[in-house]
Structure 1
Amino acid sequence: MKGVLTLTEKFDEYKKRDRIDSDYKEEYAAEVAPQHIDYDDKDNAEVRSSAAGSTAGFIALALAILSLFTFPTLFGLVSVLLGIYAYNRGATVTGGTAAIVGGIAALIAILFRVALIGLLFSLF
């Protein structure tokens, strides 16, 4: 019987047709592929720069306050340098305050040491 197909012949015919011309005409590449995102490096660098300045400003301010109580010459001078760095990076208030407070603490400590050494030399 030529017109009657068995199940296996029907399945084989379906598989041939599926290989040649697929019934599924969908495209999955758009859902699977990652989307292209444009990054503006200029804005990203600016944010990174201001964040670095802000962090440096707060560290410099902490060192400046610490210099009022212990190791005023060391912590004062470090806070001045770090404060100037933070000021140039955009943290003007914290950087400037840290540089001024640290500079005053270091200057007073150095003047006190010079006066103390002068006093000791005047005794002999």
Structure 2
Amino acid sequence: MADLDPKDVEKQKEQNDGQLYGVDNFGEQNYREETAAEIAAPTPIRVNQRTNEQNNAQTKEGGTGIGLAAIALSILSLFVFPVLFGAVGIVLGFIARARGAKTGTWAITIGAISLILGMFILPFF
């Protein structure tokens, strides 16, 4: 350091400070933006096909049982307690339909008909 001119030492110090504080060699401010690039290629998500098929089969089995119970309650609601059994049949029908059972739609329809008959038509007879 003793060999260098004091102006050169000061210039070197300014350059080092500029690199630390974001000032380039010409005295202008650099934009301090954070940039990123993806380093690795995206990997596809692989799901075990056999597991999904087994889950779907179990869901359909559960939906079928609930759907049959919903139809039974909806039909029963045509004769006894239409508001109670019809509402329960509709709710179970929606659950069965969400699980993939086609019988859920029938239960919803029959339960809705029973509710309409029980609440609006039968009181007038």
TM, length-normalised to structure 1: 0.56
Match of 1:51 among 61, 65, 70: 61
Aligned residue pairs: how many? Answer: 78
Cα distance in 1 for residues equivalent to 2:61 and 2:116: 30
The unaligned stretches of length 5 or more in structure 2 are: 1-48
Report the counterpart of residue 111 of structure 2 in structure 1. Answer: 102
Report the counterpart of residue 75 of structure 2 in structure 1. Answer: 65
Higher helix share: 1
Cα distance in 1 for residues equivalent to 2:101 and 2:50: 23
TM, length-normalised to structure 2: 0.55
The root-mean-square deviation of aligned C-alpha atoms, in Å, is 2.2
Cα distance in 2 for residues equivalent to 1:75 and 1:115: 21
Which contiguous aligned blocks of 4+ residues in structure 1 show a shift greater than 3 angstroms?
A: 112-116
Cα distance in 2 for residues equivalent to 1:73 and 1:108: 10
The unaligned stretches of length 5 or more in structure 1 are: 1-38, 117-124
Query: C-alpha displacement at 1:84, in angstroms?
Result: 1.2
Give the residue type in structure 1 aligned to 2:85. F
